[in-house]
Amino acid sequence: MRPYCREACPSGPKALRPNWLDFGGGSFSRFNVTPAEKIGAWAFCRSFALTLLLTFLMALPSIEAIAQQRMEKVLSSVVRLRAEVPRDARTAASLGQVREGNAVVIDDHGLVLTIGYLILEAQSVSLFAVDGEEIAAKILAYDHESGFGLLRASGPLGGGYVALGDSAALAEHDRVLVIGHGGISSTLAAVIASRREFAGYWEYLLDNAIYTVPPHPNWGGAALVNPSGELVGIGSLIVNDAADANGALPGNMFVPINLLKPIFADLLDSGRSSAPRKPWLGMFTAETYGRVIVTSVTPEGPSAQAGVVPGDVLLEVNGEEVPSMAKLFRTVWSQGNPGATISLKILRGTKVVGVEITSGDRYQYLRLEQRSQ
């Protein structure tokens, strides 16, 4: 299932308007559905989501169940983030030049965690303190594999910070809070709808993502908090398949906080994980009927240079069939480091053609030298 986001954007930092009648990445118009049936489907989806939520919220620990002082500290740890990106940045066209979302304070020295696409290639980042004061922040790290970004506030933000919890302990039907900047009015009681793999069309893969319902309207960088008041995830997307890959239940996808822990020291030390870099194709894809189709290619990226075009159907990668994006990514990444040659067998129209791609390094392609100071 395709998340509700724009063509080349991992989750639009601009306000996205999900089409509640566009389930499964398709349109009802393909099935000659009447307007009345559309309205009925929308009502059913909304009713089902609310029913599911209320079923589990009956036993949801109230905010008072977490000590009041601790809860205030947790709520105030989520702050508003605003980033400005140069016009010539690689991601400016797809992610926008002005990006807004949430960031979460995770220590008492102004260390802040957010979703990485909000600050990617930014030349300046501001955080907004509890009293509304604008505080400059320095970008410390960006990690594509997890999706996290780290910053340091240049001054006090006036609130608390939240401790890191154990995202591996979260299971389906567990009750959580989704917190955006703005305190209690931006806090949503939610339920874990599923734990499963997530493959993003921008060459991104999580083995055990966290899906929640109902969806929070300000999901980018939002804090996922367990009943103990600990941070267990960072908001990434709004999706239309929160319960399962073939369903039609809107929700959010969160990056598990446990992905931060093994790379945390590296990110603070050098701004990057010390893990080997992965080959990058510069290709956006979609899955349909057991095939992976190229939807677009990154300008000047490896796939574009090799002649891959939108509409190409990927049949094989280095001799292996690739029926899913997850299989495509894992096959490419298994070939070694950036620079590895990736051999594709492609269906283009009615012809099968072979294409050789010299893979690249995503970090070298991005203009990360424009990081805020």
Cα separation values, 135 from 93, 126, 162, 280, Å: 26, 5, 19, 35
Using CA atoms, how far apart are residues 139 and 122, in angstroms rounded to an integer?
Answer: 8
Q: Give percent of the chain above pLDDT 90.
A: 77
Using CA atoms, how far apart are residues 220 and 148, in angstroms rounded to an integer?
Answer: 11
pLDDT bin (cut points 50, 70, 90) of residue 22 is very low
| Of 53-57, 285-289, 342-346, the least confident | 53-57
Instruction: Please compute the mean of the pLDDT values over residues 200-215 and round it to a whole number.
Output: 97
Instruction: Please compute the mean of the pLDDT values over residues 39-58 and round it to a whole number.
Output: 50
Instruction: Please compute the mean of the pLDDT values over residues 68-72 and round it to a whole number.
Output: 77
b/e for 304-313, b at 16 or more Cβ within 10 A? bebebeeebe
Question: Measured at the alpha carbon of residue 188, what is the angle toward residues 239 and 204, in degrees to the nearest 5?
Answer: 30
Residue 214, token pair as written in the block: 């109902």
pLDDT bin (cut points 50, 70, 90) of residue 285 is very high
pLDDT at 38 over 50: no
Report pLDDT digits (tens) over 318-371: 999 999 999 999 999 999 999 999 999 999 999 999 999 999 999 999 988 644
pLDDT at 54 over 70: no
Q: Which of 50-54, 59-63, 271-275 has the highest mean pLDDT?
A: 271-275
pLDDT bin (cut points 50, 70, 90) of residue 115 is very high
Instruction: Please compute the mean of the pLDDT values over residues 111-121 and round it to a whole number.
Output: 98
pLDDT at 101 over 70: yes
pLDDT at 158 over 80: yes
Instruction: Please compute the mean of the pLDDT values over residues 56-82 and round it to a whole number.
Output: 72
pLDDT at 373 over 50: no
Query: Side-chain half-sphere of 156: how many Cα atoms within 13 Å?
Result: 4
Report pLDDT digits (tens) over 170-188: 999 999 999 999 999 999 9
pLDDT bin (cut points 50, 70, 90) of residue 65 is low
pLDDT bin (cut points 50, 70, 90) of residue 64 is low
pLDDT bin (cut points 50, 70, 90) of residue 3 is very low
Question: Measured at the alpha carbon of residue 320, what is the angle toward residues 314 and 321, in degrees to the nearest 5?
Answer: 50
Domains in the chain and their CATH numbers? 1-271 (2.40.10.120), 283-368 (2.30.42.10)
The string of DSSP codes covering 312-342 is -EEEEETTEE--SHHHHHHHHHTT-STT-EE
pLDDT bin (cut points 50, 70, 90) of residue 23 is very low
Look at residue 48 in the predicted model and tell me its pLDDT: 53
231-239 and 187-200 as β-strands: parallel, antiparallel, unpaired?
unpaired
78-84 and 98-105 as β-strands: parallel, antiparallel, unpaired?
antiparallel
Q: Give percent of the chain above pLDDT 70.
A: 80
Report pLDDT digits (tens) over 226-279: 999 999 999 999 999 999 877 789 999 999 999 999 999 999 999 999 999 999
Q: Which of 64, 66, 205 is nearest to 147 (CA)?
A: 205
Instruction: Tell which wins on pLDDT, 72 or 149.
Output: 149
Instruction: Please compute the mean of the pLDDT values over residues 34-43 and round it to a whole number.
Output: 49
| Of 19-23, 30-34, 95-99, 313-317, the least confident | 19-23
Instruction: Please compute the mean of the pLDDT values over residues 54-64 and round it to a whole number.
Output: 49
Look at residue 368 in the predicted model and tell me its pLDDT: 82
Instruction: Tell which wins on pLDDT, 38 or 145.
Output: 145
Instruction: Return mean pLDDT, the chain.
Output: 86
Q: Which residues pair with 134 in a beta bridge?
A: 128
Question: Measured at the alpha carbon of residue 174, what is the angle toward residues 261 and 46, in degrees to the nearest 5?
Answer: 115
